């Protein structure tokens, strides 16, 4: 039997801060902050959360009262209810969902450039080629 993550069932009520390193589905009630920075949190249709949520991805079918922050995406599904601010790279709010709060879209960080060598170590410019004036012969100097 394979297990894709943890489950807080319909009859469970959890009070306090929740941290973890696996995907989590909540169908019960959680009163407290939830942190799953590398994983996905799914709030089921019967799930209720009062507290802030930080996760890689958040999917809400139920009710959340608190701020949501996800590195990748926050999805607020049809008939879900969210009261709080959302910070994510890709927010999705379906029709018939209730949302009250602010949305901040996070931008992906630009790719880091390879460091350049300091100016003192940079390649020297190509040598300047001297040319003689047409009226001078090699070894002669112009008199001014």
Q: Tell me what pLDDT residue 124 has.
A: 55
Residue 95 has pLDDT above 80, yes or no: yes
Residue 1 has pLDDT above 50, yes or no: no
State the chain's mean pLDDT as an integer: 85
Q: Tell me what pLDDT residue 47 has.
A: 97
Residues 59-76 pLDDT 10s: 999 999 999 999 999 999
Q: Tell me what pLDDT residue 107 has.
A: 83
User: What global pTM score does this model have?
Assistant: 0.72
What does the alpha-carbon distance between residue 117 and residue 123 come to, in Å, rounded to a whole number? 9
What does the alpha-carbon distance between residue 22 and residue 95 come to, in Å, rounded to a whole number? 29
Residue 35 has pLDDT above 80, yes or no: yes
Q: Can you give the residue ranges of every domain in the chain?
A: 6-98
Burial of 43 (0-12, 13-18, 19+ CB in 10 A): buried
């Amino acid at each position: 039997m394979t297990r894709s993550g943890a489950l807080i069932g319909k009859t469970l009520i959890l009070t306090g801060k929740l941290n973890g390193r696996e995907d989590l589905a909540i169908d019960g009630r959680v009163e407290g902050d939830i942190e799953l920075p590398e994983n996905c949190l799914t709030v089921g249709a019967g799930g209720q959360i009062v507290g802030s949520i930080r996760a890689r991805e958040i999917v809400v079918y139920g009710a959340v009262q608190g701020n949501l922050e996800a590195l990748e995406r926050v999805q607020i599904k049809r008939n879900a209810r969210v009261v709080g601010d959302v910070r994510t790279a890709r927010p999705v709010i379906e029709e018939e969902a209730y949302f009250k709060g602010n949305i901040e879209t996070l931008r992906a960080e630009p790719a880091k450039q390879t460091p350049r060598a300091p100016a003192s170590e940079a390649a020297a410019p190509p040598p300047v080629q001297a040319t003689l004036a047409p009226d001078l012969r090699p070894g002669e100097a112009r008199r001014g």
